[in-house]
Structure 1
């Protein structure tokens, strides 16, 4: 059992007894359903992952968190001095936070910073052609039920990575906009069947089908050692809107679960 996979199974110790789940398609090219919750309604800790080289939180160059308007639900448009709107299949993303350091209580008041690539596989603020954009990045504060909701577009599949969404969880909005002391840095995996539907529906995702054919959840350098807690559930259709959801167990931050810091832009391939 890998270190990260062990963290998922035991991260909720003291808060709940975790029942092991098995993700659909784990021995194949992908998965079509999410297994993020455990028996009796308890939730396991989602693993810590790398933020990748394009976080946009000030830790590796640009900092969108200082921009007026970054606290928002709809992240399809750029904010501040930038303008532009990301095109693609509409997506609503709902995360339900559970504070495992508080017996799995709703993570009300926690803040989530979320970002992902656009339809062409580019990250705003970093990638060629969108360095003058900061769309598909935003912060939300969880309500009384621990829920945050973002309106966005479905991300592309770019070379070398399974389709995914990045996010960080903070204890408060103050720490989130400061980009300091994240309780959790992780990623959301998107189901294979939904990805195939999106990329077949919208020709703007022209490179995604080819990139999907060369990667799987098993071979992915982030999800390859287990994606049980990270695979989202998706309803709806590409012709209308896709509703993506995930329950996120947030464990107490500890030194041995922190992801490696992001590398400099222009160095490694995007994560």
Structure 2
């Protein structure tokens, strides 16, 4: 693994955000608060609606107001965050706000291959009895099916795929379209994410309010790794467990995602994230 600074910048996330806010202001003048809320819903980088599987916001709201309301464990962002805290900062690049993170953007052109995975995270406000935290921003990233992290790993230093930012909707939800990650030596299969108070603040790691990881269930990992392209992960998965993993060994109940779907038709992982 090698570190590399990507010095190619577009007009930046600040430009994207200011344009979005101006567009919302104008729409609000014509259609009121209802349309402004609609404009805030997530879409991919082309403006098309997300194709991820929908879930019941009613059940999510009920879950948010009952049971435990403890913050999700704070975890390391790892050595390959891409948030400016350790090398390159993808958060400052125009195009990072997107729901489909499988392809690189800007001057990069690669696309990550693998079993389709939809990632649904619901961000909850622990200071308000775990009610939905709308208007926050989530930066999510993970390795590809070969265990490489874009922008850092030697084989994909010039790529920036499997990284993206989304704004939470009125239900506190963000959805990403991605691929199932590999199991690389020493780590249980996982996804990284950071939570920011707003899109405008999601430009540097200095502004994040939470950092954690999603653990993927063993039975799902075994099913995925039996498919084409994941052969190396079969061995590495057999050499690690949630109990031995250096992140999840102290407890993983609140970080273990729930997975539905199938390898052939695509999988969806969901997790509620109190912050």
Larger RCO (CA under 8 A, 6+ residues apart)? 1
Distance in 2 of aligned mates of 1:121 and 1:85: 15
Shift of 1:39: 9.3
Structure 2 residue aligned with 1:191: 217
Distance in 2 of aligned mates of 1:66 and 1:152: 21
Distance in 2 of aligned mates of 1:40 and 1:48: 22
Structure 1 segments, 4+ long, off by >3 Å, are 37-43
- Structure 1 portions without partners, runs of 5+: 1-36, 251-271
How far does the alpha carbon of each residue in 1:126-168 deviate from its partner, in whole angstroms, 9 at most, with x for none?
0011000000000000000000000000000000000000000
2:104 matches 1:78: yes
In the superposition, the TM-score normalised over structure 1's length comes to: 0.76
Distance in 2 of aligned mates of 1:113 and 1:125: 15
Q: Normalized per residue, which structure has more helix?
A: 2
2:100 matches 1:101: no
What pairs with 1:156-235 in structure 2 (closer than 5 Å)?
156-201=182-227, 203-235=228-260
1:72–1:140 contact (8 Å) kept in structure 2 = yes
2:75 matches 1:49: yes
1:38–1:44 contact (8 Å) kept in structure 2 = no
2:158 matches 1:155: no
Shift of 1:67: 1.3
* Higher Cα radius of gyration: 2
Distance in 2 of aligned mates of 1:56 and 1:93: 19
Structure 2 residue aligned with 1:15: none
RMSD, aligned α-carbons: 1.4
2:133 matches 1:115: no
In the superposition, the TM-score normalised over structure 2's length comes to: 0.75
Structure 2 residue aligned with 1:246: 271
Distance in 2 of aligned mates of 1:50 and 1:126: 17
**Distance change >3 Å, CA 135–CA 175, structure 1 → 2:** same
